């Protein structure tokens, strides 16, 4: 951003310095924002304004940049993302800075992102919102209604059952979880959404790098947990009993809501969790986990013909 000192250096090399200076002065003093400010402060003399000519020049240039905003990343202002404002301090015109709308929006998103944690979730899901949901049938409408009711109850501090969203591949279950997470963040409620298969795979690695306990604590204690695509994971006794079972037991005891998305109905998920790697079935262990899921969540079918992944 060019300063008035730079502009004056250029004028000194011209023959008509005084004439050019007067032109520059008039350009600054007749600037729309400068003239509006001076009209609001008629007690400010022209002499006083000239003493602040350097500040007014910078202000004028930066406001012109703001009017033709090139975007936050390309902002050339002295303080990128901040918009200049004029103020009168002891009869001296000064320039102060406040966040521009784009900067405020960016800061808001950053603040929301600290409330909405995720693991292995696509970026578009993290930007989901109820406003963007496209309803085409009663199955999806019902799921959205349950989701909105859940956010409302949690934001009011009321006891709320989680949701078990189930339906065929690509009907928007994960997107709806993302919309719930964003709506909760707007209410300053922390949540975590994880893609269950990939996260459980990482949990195995975390034993070696010493982060296993930390990750377990996050999932056990986060105010709202969302397990996306449960049932698609590679199931082992350890995954079922020492990870899924322990997390859900803690959350049930602490009355912390958990939401799920799955291609399986609850009955099919029971069969999946009962699978024995040796070819047998461990129904009692599966039923123990399913009791926690059934007791603390509402099964909701996610219908529709539109594939949200296309």
What's residue 137's pLDDT?
A: 58
**Residue 4: pLDDT band with limits 50, 70, 90:** low
Question: Mean pLDDT across the stretch 176-205?
Answer: 92
Nearest to 297 by CA among 264, 248, 242, 263: 248
What's residue 112's pLDDT?
A: 56
What's residue 147's pLDDT?
A: 96
Domains of the chain by range and CATH?
Answer: 4-99 (no CATH), 106-301 (3.40.50.300)
What token pair was written down for 258?
A: 């958990």
pLDDT digit string, tens, across residues 284-301: 999 999 999 998 899 999
Tell which wins on pLDDT, 221 or 210.
221
What's residue 177's pLDDT?
A: 96
CA distance 277 to 275: 6
The mean predicted confidence, pLDDT, of the chain is 85
CA distance 231 to 241: 14
Residue 53 has pLDDT above 60, yes or no: yes
pLDDT digit string, tens, across residues 228-274: 999 999 888 889 999 999 999 999 999 999 999 999 999 999 999 99
> Which residue carries 């007690």 as its tokens?
43
Nearest to 94 by CA among 63, 64, 58: 58
Contact 308/175 with Cβ under 8 angstroms? Answer: yes
Residue 1 has pLDDT above 80, yes or no: no
CA distance 66 to 84: 9
Tell which wins on pLDDT, 38 or 265.
265
């Amino acid at each position: 951003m060019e300063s008035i000192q730079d502009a004056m250096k250029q004028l000194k090399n011209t023959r008509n310095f005084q004439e050019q200076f007067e032109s520059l002065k008039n350009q600054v003093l007749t600037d729309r924002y400068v003239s509006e400010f001076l009209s609001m402060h008629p007690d400010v003399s022209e002499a006083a304004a000239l003493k602040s000519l350097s500040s007014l020049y910078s202000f004028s240039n930066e406001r012109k940049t703001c009017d033709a905003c090139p975007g936050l990343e390309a902002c050339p202002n002295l303080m990128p993302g901040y918009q200049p404002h004029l103020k009168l301090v002891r009869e001296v015109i000064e320039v102060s800075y406040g966040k521009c709308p784009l900067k405020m929006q960016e800061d808001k998103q950053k603040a929301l992102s600290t409330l909405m944690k995720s693991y292995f979730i696509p970026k578009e899901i993290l930007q989901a919102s109820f406003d963007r949901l496209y309803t085409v049938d009663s199955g999806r409408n019902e799921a959205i209604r349950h989701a909105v009711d859940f956010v409302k109850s949690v934001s009011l501090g009321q006891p709320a059952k989680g949701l078990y969203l189930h339906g065929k591949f690509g009907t928007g279950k994960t997107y709806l979880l993302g919309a719930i997470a964003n709506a909760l963040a707007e209410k300053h409620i922390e949540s975590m959404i994880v893609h269950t298969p990939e996260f459980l795979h990482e949990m195995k690695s975390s034993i070696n790098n010493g982060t296993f306990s930390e990750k377990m604590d996050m999932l056990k204690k986060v105010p709202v947990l969302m397990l996306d695509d449960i049932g698609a994971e590679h199931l082992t006794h350890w995954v079922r009993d020492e990870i899924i079972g322990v997390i859900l037991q803690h959350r049930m005891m602490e009355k912390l809501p958990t939401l799920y998305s799955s291609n399986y109905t609850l009955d099919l998920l029971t069969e999946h969790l009962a699978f024995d790697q040796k070819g047998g079935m461990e129904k009692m262990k599966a039923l123990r986990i399913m009791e926690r899921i059934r007791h603390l969540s509402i099964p909701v079918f996610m219908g529709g013909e539109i594939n949200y992944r296309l």
